Structures are given as structure tokens and as C-alpha cells.
Amino acid sequence: MAQWLENVEPLTLKGQIAVPYTWWVGDTGSRFLNAVRHEEKIWGTRCETCDAVFVPPKKNCGRCFSSLDQWVEVGTEGMVTAYTIVRFDHPMHPVKGPFAYALIQLDGADVGLLHLITEDLDKLTNGVRVKARFKEKSQRTGHILDIENFQII
Amino acid sequence: MDNIAIVGIAQTKYERRKKDKTYLDLVYEMTTAALDDAGLTINDIDSVVTVSNDFLDGRTISGMAVGDAAGAYDKNISTVEGDGTFGAFYGAMRVLGGAGTTLVVAHSKGSEGDIKTVTNAMFDPIYQRHLGIEGITSSAIQANAYMHKYGITEEELAAVSVKNHANAMNNPHAQLPLDLTLGDVMDSEMISDPLKKLDCSPVSDGAAAIIIADEEQAKKAKKPPVWIKGFAHCADEYLLGDRDLADPRALREAAEKAFAMAGIDEPMGGIDVVELYDAFSYMEPLWLEGMGFCAPGKGAQLLLDGITAMDGTLPVNPSGGVLSAHAVLVAGLARIVEVVEQLRGTAGARQVKGAKTGLAHGINGPCGQSHCVWILSKEMRG
């Protein structure tokens, strides 16, 4: 540190980047979220070339670059393929800790959907079966958290 | 590929908070120090690549804001928003493309923002961001997937933390030189299972710079040039759930390409030292597997067998690695700087004796979505 700095009061300036943003969810995302909101159903898209069903759905396959337009309803139950139990709190967490993030391979899907598990954490293991718990219909807005969390079966 | 070389390097000491330095101070100091190291002046620099992230810097178009401090006035400047190894990749491509001697400078002050908020923002805003996931918790999922697939234990990963923090005691630039036992790591606070506090890299402030030149300019450099024998970059899918998190396929692809460029058939025999991006303890063995130094699932065994220790046949992270200092974006460039020190023979107490060829590695995106691999050597390409 330069010597003259010892005689100067160091200043800091507080601020933040807070930019309002409205994301267009897209036609694929809108179809997925509306099915969750109105029907308590979960849909994915299938890549024939890779023989894989993606949830959330995507418009093109990230692996083979094919355009995907084949919709497949998958189960609201599935298997935890990987998880972590979160031990710290942060304002951006939707629930208080401890809770878990899990990758859930829904029945009929070939990839993991990232979501929350908030109860029975002592029963959480790789391979455990879980089921989606949807929010009350009046509370659903077409948001990924219209699925409130997944419950261990 | 034409011969190109790294002719100048600089890095700061990494600290939790550099309260006496602004971004501009850090960039100016590293630019000046790298020029001095190379025996060049700013007039010898033809092109500039800055490495920055708008969320980390708290401003938009952050790359242009540091141009003055990087000596970019009247020059061809561009920015990489990603790890410093990717900035260096772009810099090397510029030199190969004939843009002339190129400075690459990376900076970040993790202390000034909120790293968890910043890393949360890298996730998809429609499907993932609102769940609150960020850098640590996503990596914890990857650690879980890796451990589950191969039956790796928390103790085996804790041993990485013990080794790298001990190595950091030989590195004056490191932020966390620590003399730890396995018990210290195992007893440290659980942050996000299975990651404990001492499995995680710290929040850091720091900066680094390198200067890349073509063969003609490199031969005139003040210090022995360190030649770029191979470099490659590869990306995997974006969403965590779409990938096999225990299989770093993008790294395997990048490493194979880089080794092929460098004419190395067998990684274990061809590399003397590795500096890799161990943001978390589990990453070191997982990345070593991806690089092809051992079979999948056998990365932790390399440490148990003493191979990756300072006195082993393949010392990994003699600097203490990213676990011992994690200035985001800078950390990958620091891996390149460290390997250059090793190959020059100027690494001091952390020197790997007789190192001739080294590997430096950086990652970008959640859970190592993309990887950049550098093979550096005292010798030119044949």
C-alpha cells in the first residue's frame, strides 16, 4: 500500500446493478409451463436421432443439433440421480434451509430436471423415487415453482 | 500451427479483499508488470484482450472500462467474458492470425459484489435461476454424482484440500496457505453436502496478465519464451440435468485435441506438471480423469498413491491451485502463469525440478460446462 494512503480516508461507494427484465419464455417453454399450471402435467421434447427425451423441453437437440417438435408427456414421478442438501441460507433461496436440490429423471425422460426437495431429507439417496407436488391451482402462475417441490415416495 | 510463445507474465497476490486497489489499479499494475517481465513497452503491444464479467464488475461493457489501464488506447482491444484461459485462447488466435504481440489481462474483485448472486445468474432464468441454485450448490450436485458413480469417499476428496493448501505454503501469491489434517477438512462446516468449507475455494481479489508473441518476436524476448505446443477448448451441454456430471466429456475432447497438437501420445509420460481449475476439491481428481491421466473413477487414487504430490511423478497444483485462491476469471490465467514459472524454472519453493512440459487448465460455465487445455513447453513445436 502506498505510504500516502495511510493519511487518506479510503472511500467505498455502495450501489447495485438492478435491471428489470421480462423474459419471453418462448413457445416451447410456454407450452411446458402452461401444462404444469393448468393440467398438472409435465411434457418434454424427444430427439429421434439421439433417442432422448428432454425435460424441460427444448427446441433443438444440444447434442445432434436436430430440430425437435415431437412432444412427449412424461411422468410426474421419477428418480433422484444426484442431489445436495443445502445448509446455508441466502435471500435468493425459495425456501429456508436445510433443503435439497435434486436432479430428477422423470419416468419417460432421459435427462434430469432440477428441482427442490424440502421434506424427509434423511431419506434422500441417489436412486430414491419422488413425486411432484403441485401448488394449489389458484397459486399457479406458469412458473417453474408451480411445482412446489418433489416428495420422496 | 506456427510457433507462438508466452513472453511475459504477471499475477498479484490473491487476497480476500484488496481494499487499497480498484479494478483499474489491478489491471494497470499487471499490464506494467507483464511488460517489464517481457522487456517490452506498451508500444510493443499490438493487440489487447481483457477478461471481465459485467456482474462481477457491477457495470455493463466492463471490458471497455479497463482499456486505459490495459494500455489499449489506439489499439485493437476486445474482451472475453469467461475464464482467463479462454481469454488467452482468443489472444493466441489473434497472434496466429497476424494481429501481432498480444496482451491478455484478467481481473476480478469477488469482495465487491456477491459471488452467490452472480453465479446464480448464470443459470437459466426460466427453469433454474428461481430455484436459487448457484456455483457452490450446483458443484455439490456434481460432487454427489461423481462420488455416487465411483464410490469415492469424502475423505478421499478432503485429501485434495490438504495437499493443495499445503502446496500453497510455498506460493507467495496464494491466499490460503494452510497446514491442514484430513480431520480439519472433514470437521469444517458443511456448506452443501458433500462439500464442506475446506472443500471449497475462497472468494478472492486479484489479477493476472500474459503477453503472447509470434516466433520472431519471442526469440527477442528478455526471458526464455515458453512455447504454446497445443491448446484446445470444448463445451458440453448447458443444463446440468442434460449432462452426465460424473463424465467430463468436454474436457476429454479438449485434452485429446491439445495433446494431439503437442504430439503427446501418452499424457502421464508427456507432462511434468499440471495446474488445473480445482474450484472444489472433487474437481482435481475428476479433471485428471477427463485429461486422460487415469481411467474414469481413478483420479482420487492418483493422490492416494502419491503421484500428484510435490514429490510425485506428476505434481498437480504446486501453487496450491484454485482451492487456495479463486479470483474468478483470473484463476485460469493464473494456472498458465504458474506453468510458465515452472517451465522457466523460476517457481521458487514450489518449483517442480526439471519441468519441461506442463499443462494448464481452465473451466467456464456451471460444473465445468466448458474446458480449455494448454500444453506449454520449454521447447518449440517440432
- Whether the full predicted model's pTM is greater than 0.95, yes or no, is yes
Tally of structural domains, chain B: 1
Say whether A115 and B193 touch across the interface (CB within 8 A).
no
Instruction: Tell me what pLDDT residue B339 has.
Output: 98
Domain interval for residue B17: 4-113+203-218
A85 lies within 8 A of chain B by CB: yes
Position A16 confidence tier, pLDDT thresholds 50, 70, 90: confident
For the purposes of burial, counting CB atoms within 10 Å of the CB of B182, is it exposed (0-12), middle (13-18) or buried (19 or more)? middle
CA distance to A137, B70, B187, B324, B339, per residue, from B320 (Å): 53, 28, 21, 5, 13
Instruction: Tell me what pLDDT residue A6 has.
Output: 79
> Residues in chain B, how many?
382
The fraction of chain B above a pLDDT of 90, given in percent, is 97
Cell numbers representing residue B90 in the block: 482468443
The model's pLDDT over A85-115, given as tens digits with 9 standing for 90+, comes to 999 999 999 999 899 999 999 999 999 999 9
Closest by CA position to B356, among listed B331, B329, B375, B334: B375
Rounded distance between C-alpha atoms, residue B34 and residue B91, angstroms = 15
A-B contacts at Cβ under 8 angstroms: 112
Q: Looking at the complex, report in whole angstroms how far the Cα of residue A18 sits from the nearest Cα belonging to chain B.
A: 10
Of A1, A16, A84, nearest to B141 by CB-CB distance is A84
The model's pLDDT over A107-152, given as tens digits with 9 standing for 90+, comes to 999 999 999 999 999 999 999 999 999 999 999 999 999 999 999 9
Contacting residues of A for B238, CB less than 8 Å apart: 62
Please compute the mean of the pLDDT values over residues A23-40 and round it to a whole number.
97
Cell numbers representing residue A91 in the block: 435471500
What is the distance in angstroms between the CA of the first residue and the CA of the last residue of chain A?
59
Instruction: Tell me what pLDDT residue B214 has.
Output: 98
Cell numbers representing residue B354 in the block: 526439471
Give me the phi and psi of B129, to 5 degrees please: -60, -35
Domain boundary assignment for chain A: 22-152
A72 lies within 8 A of chain B by CB: no
Instruction: Tell me what pLDDT residue A8 has.
Output: 83
Q: Which of B18, B25, B192 is the best substitution to test chain A (most A C-beta atoms within 10 A)?
A: B192
The model's pLDDT over B82-93, given as tens digits with 9 standing for 90+, comes to 999 999 999 999
The fraction of chain B above a pLDDT of 70, given in percent, is 100
Task: Report helix, strand or coil for B153.
Answer: coil
CB A144, CB B126: distance < 8 Å: yes
B131 lies within 8 A of chain A by CB: yes
Instruction: Tell me what pLDDT residue A2 has.
Output: 66
* Angle of the B330-344 helix axis to the B84-96 helix axis, nearest 10: 70
Provide ipTM, 2 decimals: 0.96
Q: For residue A4, is pLDDT > 90?
A: no
Residue B80's H or E segment, with its range, is strand B76-80
Contacting residues of A for B189, CB less than 8 Å apart: 87
Task: Report helix, strand or coil for B340.
Answer: helix
A52-54 and A42-47 strand pairing: antiparallel
Say whether A94 and B58 touch across the interface (CB within 8 A).
no
Contacting residues of A for B133, CB less than 8 Å apart: 101, 114
The model's pLDDT over B209-233, given as tens digits with 9 standing for 90+, comes to 999 999 999 999 999 999 999 999 9
Ranges of H-type helices in chain B: 23-38, 54-57, 62-65, 84-96, 115-120, 135-150, 154-168, 182-187, 215-218, 249-262, 267-270, 283-291, 299-304, 330-344
Say whether A25 and B130 touch across the interface (CB within 8 A).
no
Position B381 confidence tier, pLDDT thresholds 50, 70, 90: confident
Of B58, B116, B239, nearest to A90 by CB-CB distance is B116
Cell numbers representing residue A34 in the block: 402452461
Of A15, A87, A94, nearest to B191 by CB-CB distance is A87
A99-106 and B195-196 strand pairing: unpaired
Sheet holding B47-51, edge to edge: B76-80, B47-51, B102-109, B205-214, B4-11, B226-235, B370-377, B357-364, B273-275
As separate numbers, helices (DSSP H) first and strands (DSSP E) second, chain B gives 14, 11
A70-74 and A42-47 strand pairing: antiparallel
The enclosing domain of B79 has a CATH number of 3.40.47.10
Listing DSSP states for B254-308 in one string gives HHHHHHHHHT-S-HHHH-SEEE---SBTTHHHHHHHHHTSS-TT-HHHHHHTTTT
Q: Which amino acid is at B138?
A: S
Gyration radius (Cα) of chain A, Å: 21
Q: Using CB atoms and an 8 Å cut-off, which of residues 49-108 of chain B contact chain A?
A: 54-55, 58-60
Instruction: Tell me what pLDDT residue B19 has.
Output: 87
Q: Using CB atoms and an 8 Å cut-off, which of residues 44-63 of chain A contact chain B?
A: 54-56, 62-63
User: Is B365 a member of any domain?
Assistant: no
Q: Looking at the complex, report in whole angstroms how far the Cα of residue B92 sits from the nearest Cα belonging to chain A.
A: 28
Task: Report helix, strand or coil for B181.
Answer: coil
CB B210, CB B333: distance < 8 Å: yes
Which residue from B minimizes the CA distance to A5?
Answer: B20
B32 lies within 8 A of chain A by CB: no
Q: Looking at the complex, report in whole angstroms how far the Cα of residue A99 sits from the nearest Cα belonging to chain B.
A: 10
Closest by CA position to B138, among listed B369, B326, B325: B369
Instruction: Tell me what pLDDT residue A9 has.
Output: 82
Position A61 confidence tier, pLDDT thresholds 50, 70, 90: very high
Task: Report helix, strand or coil for B361.
Answer: strand
Q: For residue B293, is pLDDT > 70?
A: yes
Q: Which amino acid is at B10?
A: A
Q: For residue B263, is pLDDT > 60?
A: yes
Instruction: Tell me what pLDDT residue B337 has.
Output: 98
B197 lies within 8 A of chain A by CB: no
Instruction: Tell me what pLDDT residue A11 has.
Output: 87
The model's pLDDT over B351-364, given as tens digits with 9 standing for 90+, comes to 999 999 999 999 99
Return the ∠ at Cα B141 (arms to B137 and B145), rounded to 5°: 165
A17 lies within 8 A of chain B by CB: yes
User: Is B138 a member of any domain?
Assistant: no
Contacting residues of B for A116, CB less than 8 Å apart: 131
Q: For residue B279, is pLDDT > 70?
A: yes
Q: For residue A3, is pLDDT > 80?
A: no
Q: For residue A1, is pLDDT > 60?
A: no
A84 lies within 8 A of chain B by CB: yes
Say whether B193 and A114 touch across the interface (CB within 8 A).
no
Which residue from A minimizes the CA distance to B129?
Answer: A92
Cell numbers representing residue B186 in the block: 472433514
The model's pLDDT over B113-129, given as tens digits with 9 standing for 90+, comes to 999 999 999 999 999 99
User: Is B208 a member of any domain?
Assistant: yes
Say whether B144 and A84 touch across the interface (CB within 8 A).
yes
User: Is B96 a member of any domain?
Assistant: yes
The model's pLDDT over B325-343, given as tens digits with 9 standing for 90+, comes to 999 999 999 999 999 999 9
Instruction: Tell me what pLDDT residue B197 has.
Output: 98
The model's pLDDT over B61-78, given as tens digits with 9 standing for 90+, comes to 988 899 999 999 999 999
